[in-house]
Amino acid sequence: MNENSTHTEQLIQYLDGELQGDSLSTIQKSIEENNAIRAEFENLRMAKESVKSYGLKMRVGSIHEEMMQELKVKARPKTGILKTIYRYSLRVAAVLIILFGVSALYQYFSATPEKLFNENFQAFELHETRGKLKTSLEDMYEKGDMNGLIQQFSLLKSPQVKDYFLTGNAFLSTHQPARAIETFIRLEQLNKTNNTHFFEEDVEYFLALSYLSNNETSKALPLFEKIHADQNHPFHSAVSAWFISRVKRVSSHP
């Protein structure tokens, strides 16, 4: 075992309170006098404290127990090497868990309506229907001519449900969430008047995204929660519990 490995092993033992007598005095002196050893000690100490602060003590303890059980069946001459490998592995695992936790906390506390919208928004994809001619709005939507679609929609005398739906998505795609909300709500009213359910579930999702983009998270949240609770909803997979928790935080901290 090289000198660096020996120092690391001793530092871990020191942090765990396993050293006594001369070994304890020696490592304490090394930490005080050797900058490299002191820097490594601080890194190990911070890692250990981070594990505690993230509530990972039980998880690490479980890993420790499993590893100890495995070590018991190994040959005794290899015990020292295996113990060192185990400690290195445990330290790497702890650091990875900490990094994951830090990343998750950053995503949670840095969430904004704009970030959440950008993470989840994907333009609606039209499905080709054989034997049926496309309307001018459908053609523009497929070509990505959202501004042309919006202009064409304004000329329609009696827009149909699909016209409202495509136009609502066009408004959302061109960063006009307030007008998207107005259009999707008009679609819902038209469905209610005609006792129909066209694009009903699609509108729930895109209306929720429109509210989110418009900084109306308190209105978006109930729709997202409804979608998340319904496993058969076509957009259920797009609304995770993690996403809901971040929307809740943004809603409570406008």
To the nearest 10°, report the CA torsion of 183, 187, 192, 198: -160
Contacts of 187 (CB under 8 A, 6+ apart): 161, 164, 165, 168, 198, 199, 203
**50 token code pair:** 């981070």
- DSSP string spanning 44-113? HHHHHHHHHHTT-HHHHHHHHHHHHHHHHTS-GGGHHHHHHHHHHHHHHHHHHHHHHHHHHHHHHHT--H
Give tens-digit pLDDT for 145-172: 999 999 999 999 999 999 999 999 999 9
Lowest mean pLDDT among 38-47, 98-107, 182-191, 240-249: 98-107
Model confidence at 204: pLDDT above 50: yes
Return the top range by mean pLDDT from 4-8, 67-71, 232-236. Answer: 232-236
> What confidence tens digit (pLDDT) does each residue in 172-202 have?
999 999 999 999 999 999 999 999 999 999 9
Q: What is the pLDDT at residue 2?
A: 44
Report d(CA 250, CA 215) in Å as an integer. Answer: 9
| Angle between helix 3-15 and 21-33 (nearest 10) | 110
Q: Return the minimum-mean-pLDDT range out of 34-38, 189-193, 203-207, 230-234.
A: 34-38
The structure tokens listed for 154 are 């304004």
User: How high is the pLDDT of residue 81?
Assistant: 59
Mean pLDDT across the chain: 79
Range from 40-54, 117-131, 237-251 that averages highest in pLDDT = 237-251
Q: From CA 204, how far away is CA 199, in angstroms rounded?
A: 9
Amino acid sitting at position 244: I
pTM of structure: 0.60
Which structure tokens are listed for 67?
A: 């590893």
Task: Look at residues 163, 227, 247 and name the one whose alpha carbon lies nearest to residue 198.
Answer: 163
- List, for residues 214-231, the tens digit of each pLDDT value: 999 999 999 999 999 999
188 CB neighbour count, 10 Å cutoff: 16
**What domains are there in the chain, each with its CATH number?**
3-109 (no CATH), 113-252 (1.25.40.10)
